[in-house]
Amino acid sequence: MRVIIAAAGTGGHINPGIAIANKIKEENKKAEILFIGTERGLEQDLVPRAGYDLKTIDAYGLSKKISIDNLKKMVKTIKGLSQAKRIVKEFRPDIVIGTGGYICGAVILAANKMKIPTMLHESNAFPGKAVKMLAKKTDIIMVSFEDAISRIPNAKKIVLTGTPTKNININLSVNEKVKQIEKYNLNPAKPTVLAFGGSQGAKRINDTIVELATKKLNKRYQILLACGAKQYDIVKENLKSKELDIENLNGIKVVPYIYEMPEIMNSVDILVCRSGATTITEIAKLGKPAIFVPLPNVSHNHQQYNAEVLEKVGAAKIINNDILNAEKLNELIEKMLDKDTLERMGNNAKQIAVNDTENRIYNEIKSLLK
């Protein structure tokens, strides 16, 4: 089996592509897989690190605004289509899979013209422009949430698969969870809130936790904040300006990054975070209550729609970025702290979990290649 995977830009597009590639290699060790991306995104690091070859083309997201810069991007994107055709022709794939982002346009269109079977995976509850535009030309659209199905009415075939992610251990023992909490010098007998904003951190969440620490609002719970490596020194100075030492906060531990994120997510009681598709998927699989602060100013406000998937089933609360502050966050955490509420919200989260995602996707690949 020869497979091309188009994935570019953010980890939210690239990591599902890598997870699909890993599943294909697990089922078919002789499979040859090639990624197509750009020279600007995280694929430059993530794809080779995962052990796959990467070729690049010119591709840009285009705005409706008429400008010299936009015209230049349009010319380069048209050039990218011919580059994609050449790569597809040379590699001769049996199937082409796109995992979202503007890179998919050129690659899927190139495959379509050569009569090569195509698939697209959409991680978000509100589908992006590329998926909507390519729906009629793609053999199978795979979605992560049921909410997305009605938003792609012109798809040839659409199936619910969930978002492929790294393996998540949902069976940590009580003792293992205790060790995870103790690793950060926190008290395992006290409710723990994990706050994070992805690998880059989220300034608004960081500032709110600093405010919460300054006002000493977390009397009934403790906080582990993964603030992002690039923002650690900023948080440290912010705390210092309020005469607080980042290493000696009362009931709050601040770290730049957490490498064992699935394990610590499994061990805490409440999550405070953005609402990217992968995060939503992991929370659902782990069955954890969450407070979402959707990232504003993203295309189609898709993080808001993602967060609403869990809010609708009673598994999460939402605070918009522009009104987030220490008092509002503390009030929500306090309301969620009792054992029955935490258990109910966690069980509600599991309602939307798709636990056999990779198998579903691989079955769709096989069905398309028959």
Return the pLDDT at 64: 52
Q: Determine the Cα–Cα distance for residues 225 and 258; give it in Å rounded to an integer.
A: 9
Do 23 and 107 lie in one domain? The reply is yes
Do 143 and 249 lie in one domain? The reply is no
Q: Determine the Cα–Cα distance for residues 250 and 229; give it in Å rounded to an integer.
A: 22
Q: Which amino acid is at 138?
A: T
The residue among 220 and 65 whose pLDDT is bigger is 220
Do 150 and 16 lie in one domain? The reply is yes
pLDDT exceeds cutoff 70 at 181 = yes
Q: Determine the Cα–Cα distance for residues 36 and 289; give it in Å rounded to an integer.
A: 37
Do 87 and 185 lie in one domain? The reply is no
Contacts of 183 (CB under 8 A, 6+ apart): none
CA angle (189, 284, 155) in 5-degree steps? 170
Do 304 and 363 lie in one domain? The reply is no
List the one residue out of 218, 316, 334, 237 whose CA is nearest residue 273.
316
Are 162 and 369 a contacting pair, CB within 8 Å? no
Return the pLDDT at 71: 55
Return the pLDDT at 58: 78
Do 223 and 145 lie in one domain? The reply is no
Going by pLDDT thresholds of 50, 70 and 90, the confidence category of residue 361 is: very high
Which helix (H) or strand (E) element contains residue 161?
Answer: none
List the one residue out of 9, 288, 273, 291 whose CA is nearest residue 123.
9
Do 82 and 221 lie in one domain? The reply is no
Do 266 and 125 lie in one domain? The reply is no
Q: With respect to residue 169, please indicate whether it lies within any of the assigned structural domains.
A: no
Average of pLDDT values for 88-102? 92
Q: With respect to residue 71, please indicate whether it lies within any of the assigned structural domains.
A: yes
Sheet holding 222-226, edge to edge: 252-255, 222-226, 192-196, 270-273, 290-292, 316-318
Q: Determine the Cα–Cα distance for residues 146 and 148; give it in Å rounded to an integer.
A: 5
What pLDDT, in 10s, does the model give residues 242-283?
A: 999 999 999 999 999 998 888 999 999 999 999 999 899 999
Mean of all residue pLDDT scores within the chain:
90
The residue among 101 and 81 whose pLDDT is bigger is 81
Q: In Å, what is the CA distance from 96 to each residue of 24, 76, 107, 176, 358? A: 13, 22, 8, 41, 17
Are 18 and 30 a contacting pair, CB within 8 Å? no
Do 143 and 187 lie in one domain? The reply is no
Range with top average pLDDT, 106-110, 300-304, 331-335? 331-335
How many folded domains does the chain comprise? 2
Return the pLDDT at 206: 96
Return the pLDDT at 77: 58
DSSP class of 347: H
Do 132 and 182 lie in one domain? The reply is no
pLDDT exceeds cutoff 60 at 215 = yes
pLDDT exceeds cutoff 80 at 339 = yes
Q: Determine the Cα–Cα distance for residues 37 and 99; give it in Å rounded to an integer.
A: 11
Going by pLDDT thresholds of 50, 70 and 90, the confidence category of residue 198 is: confident
Return the pLDDT at 292: 98
Q: With respect to residue 186, please indicate whether it lies within any of the assigned structural domains.
A: yes
CATH number, domain with residue 193? 3.40.50.2000
Going by pLDDT thresholds of 50, 70 and 90, the confidence category of residue 129 is: confident
Do 145 and 182 lie in one domain? The reply is no
Q: With respect to residue 168, please indicate whether it lies within any of the assigned structural domains.
A: no
What pLDDT, in 10s, does the model give residues 275-295?
A: 999 899 999 999 999 999 999
Lowest mean pLDDT among 22-36, 124-138, 231-245, 273-287: 124-138
pLDDT exceeds cutoff 80 at 73 = no
Sign of CA dihedral 104, 278, 35, 9: positive
DSSP class of 151: G
Do 151 and 221 lie in one domain? The reply is no
pLDDT exceeds cutoff 50 at 62 = no
Q: Which domain holds residue 240?
A: 174-350
The DSSP annotation for 292-334 comes to: E-PPSSSGGGHHHHHHHHHHHTTSEEE--GGG--HHHHHHHHH
